[in-house]
Structure 1
Amino acid sequence: MSRAAEETWRARIRGCLLGGAIGDALGGPVEFESGQSIVAAHPERLRTFVSGSAGWPPGTITDDTQMTLFTVEGLIRAGVRTDRGIGFTVAVVHHAYDRWLDTQTLQAPSGERDGWLQGEQWLYARRAPGNTCLSALTGARKGGDRIPQFGGQAANDSKGCGGVMRVAPFGLLPAKWFDRDWVFDSAADAAGYTHGHPTGKLASGALAVIIREICGGADLNAALDTTAAVLAERPDHLETSTALAAARQAAASGNHGPATVEQLGGGWVAEEALAIAVYAALAYPEPEQFLDALALSVTHSGDSDSTGAICGNLLGALHGETALPAELVFTVEGRPVILQLADDFALEFSTPTRLHGDYGPHTAWSTRYPGW
């Protein structure tokens, strides 16, 4: 890609990941509150970071951002793995989620893992992680016929939003190497490592394709048109397609507010979380409206951190990092690590041969990101 195109792509990567973290941290403390109580406490909607329970200061991210960061790391490590001549292996992302599981079950890094992300002590905090993610990943460690190890789909029927809230990075992969169907199916598979219901997977594939189209220069409505066509080709797409159509209709009708969000659902399941995020992004699509969209996306009686995270992913990819609200960027937890991963992701998928060197596994880059 040209230098200008690469600069835009890098800004979208940083915007997507940091925007998702901001939306996550904005909604996390009110995740289990009713929409009425949120509005009562924040008549102008929730536009600043607030504290949650004990040990949850303002600006704190949740499992949504934690798992998204491990998705990024897994994709980088899958890129490094191609040095072995065996292609791009998405199951490497499943291995990354296994390292995330350590952050939820241990107090500190064990010293037995490789790579650098699992060594970040601040990630070893439980912020209401999804039970389905925990149980599915724990089961994958055991292996066996019912629950294969890395790369196997979860043996459950859950369509909770724990899959869709973490797969945005698949849409950031460069289109010249990863085509639309591959992005959709791979994001769906990655969600399926913990959530086995078709809708949980299809909503995740849809989010990845929306972001892919945005990164290719499409506006949000055009990206949704393309995604609708891709969805229509998949079996079992009706729940996801219907939810996205409802979000678009609600956005087009005007009168944007929490009452409309509530009509789209609570966001606890995948298609509702995606629909609420899309609705808020469509309601306030301009760069200067970024905070308006995030505030709307988290002001409801449901999974506010996940809907905020997905909305932030979408608008961050659409507008780039310069549109992010400075007062929230300044204080969000983990910003240095988020941006370091964003930049490393861009490096891996723009100049991999210069980083991997002549000897594949024997480089500083592959020590930082081992290929498994």
Structure 2
Amino acid sequence: MDVDRARGVLLGLACGDALGRPVEFASASEINAEYGRLEEMVGHGTWNQPAGTITDDTEQALCIARSLVEHQGFNPADVAERFVAWYDSDPFDIGRMTMRSLSRLKRGDAWDEAGQHVWEQSREGQNAGNGSVMRCPPLAIPYASEREHLVEVSRQSSQITHADPRCTYGCAVLNLTLAGLLEDADVPLQDALEDVGSDVPDELVTALRPLIHGDAPGTLETSGYVIHSLQTALHDGLVAESSEEAIVTAVNRGGDTDTIGAIAGAVAGARFGATSLPDRWLRAIDESDELETLAEQLVEVT
């Protein structure tokens, strides 16, 4: 595996997250009115944080990556404990389903029970957010060549907080696509949709299949709904001609900018490598060195 592209997965995720953080929830027109085309790390804005600040997207991805390295493999109970410890640190940004699931974990639910309970108690429209797909890319690095196992651990990582099949299989499709990119597949998304399994929700396949050939619907949505986030981020990550173009395009669409930017960044990072990411962005992100080291260690996880 090309280590530079493994680094690109984690660093690209962080760059998209940090670039999108100050404009999260803003519309494309609002971003344009304030920044023109947002291409630089800026401070304040949504959440009122310094330039280069990561959000829950990268913070939870770090939890997964650190656990994978420490345990030399995926340990969902340990990942759940790390999520709870992060939750107890009072993060400034946390999704509702994640918060509800982690609250249940604190009260004693097992790692594979909390998210299930929250999902069963959530109505349609509030039960399939993007909170698990944004954090799952670290799993694609050590399991890139073990595709069946990658599907299993990706779905389990989602189930900790997001048990809806659109979320669990969404994580699997994203990670299979990343694995394909890391392994030099010719048609990584097509391979992902073929390998994910027969139980994958039709809505997910219908939304993503056109992207195989570079097509896209007339409107790419930017809500926090997992189908919208994956469709838009995979489109931007797979068709862009550089990592910077993918991330800037995704973020300037508005909406859930940090998460869609993070997913697009992970995909573009897997395509072009960490060396394709602007140094000015990486210097602004305090966690860049740790993310780079973790990516190198994840390549060696067996």
Task: Report the TM-score, using the length of structure 2 for normalisation.
Answer: 0.89
Matches within 5 A, 1:65-104: 65-79=58-72, 89-104=75-90
Compute the displacement of 1:153 (Å). 5.3
In the other structure, the counterpart of 1:276 is: 232
Task: Tell me the equivalent position of 2:122.
Answer: none
In 1: Cα distance, 2:49 partner to 2:250 partner: 21
Change in 2 beyond 3 A, CA 1:79/1:152: farther
- Give, in whole Å, the separation in 2 of the partners of 1:314 and 1:181: 20
For the aligned residues, what is the CA RMSD? 2.2
Contact 1:246 1:264 in 2 (8 A): no
Aligned to 2:38: 46
Task: Give, as a single letter, the amino acid of the residue that structure 2 aligns with 1:156.
Answer: V
* Residue 180 of structure 2 corresponds to residue 217 of structure 1: no
Aligned match of 1:295: 248
Q: What is the match of residue 261 of structure 2? A: 308
Contact 1:75–1:92 at 8 Å: present in 2 too? no
Partners of 1:153 and 1:189 within 8 A in 2: no
Q: How much has 1:174 moved relative to structure 2?
A: 4.2
Contact 1:247 1:264 in 2 (8 A): no
C-alpha deviation, 1:307, in angstroms: 0.5
- The number of residue pairs the alignment matches comes to 293
**C-alpha deviation, 1:271, in angstroms:** 1.7
Contact 1:173 1:212 (8 Å CA) reproduced: no
Q: Is the CA contact 1:74–1:94 (under 8 Å) kept in the aligned structure 2?
A: no
The amino acid that maps onto 1:199 is R
8 A Cα contact 2:24 2:257, kept in partner: yes
Write out aligned runs for 1:237-276 (5 A).
237-248=201-212, 251-252=214-215, 263-276=219-232
Alignment of 1:106-255 (within 5 A): 125-126=91-92, 128-143=93-108, 148-152=109-113, 154=115, 155-157=117-119, 158-175=127-144, 179-219=146-186, 222-231=187-196, 233-248=197-212, 251-252=214-215
Q: Is 1:23 equivalent to 2:16 in the alignment?
A: yes
| Alignment match of 2:272 (pick from 304, 319, 339) | 319
Q: Cα deviations across residues 50-78 of structure 1 (Å, max 9, x unaligned)?
A: 22346411111111000000010122233
Gaps of 5+ in 2: 120-126
Q: Tell me which amino acid in the other structure corresponds to 1:142.
A: R
Task: Mark the CA change 1:182 to 1:76 in structure 2 (over 3 Å): closer, same or farther.
Answer: same
The structure-2 alpha-carbon separation of the partners of 1:41 and 1:247, relative to structure 1 and needing over 3 Å to count, comes to farther
Q: Deviations over 1:112-145 (max 9, x none)?
A: xxxxxxxxxxxxx42x2112111101101212xx
**Matched AA of 2:103:** T
Q: Which secondary structure does the structure 2 equivalent of 1:166 belong to?
A: coil
Give me the whole-angstrom Cα distance separating, in 1, the residues matched to 2:190 and 2:222: 24
- Contact 2:13–2:263 (CA under 8 A) maintained in structure 1: yes
Flag the structure with larger Rg. 1
* 2:123 alignment counterpart: none
AA matched with 2:201: H
The answer to whether the 8 Å contact 1:26/1:49 transfers is: yes
Measure, in 2, the Cα distance between the counterparts of 1:12 and 1:47.
22
Structure 1 residues 142 and 308, CA gap change in structure 2 (3 angstroms): same
| Percent identity of equivalent pairs | 28
Give secondary structure in 2 for the equivalent of 1:76. helix
1:343-362 alignment to 2 at 5 Å? 343-347=296-300, 349=301
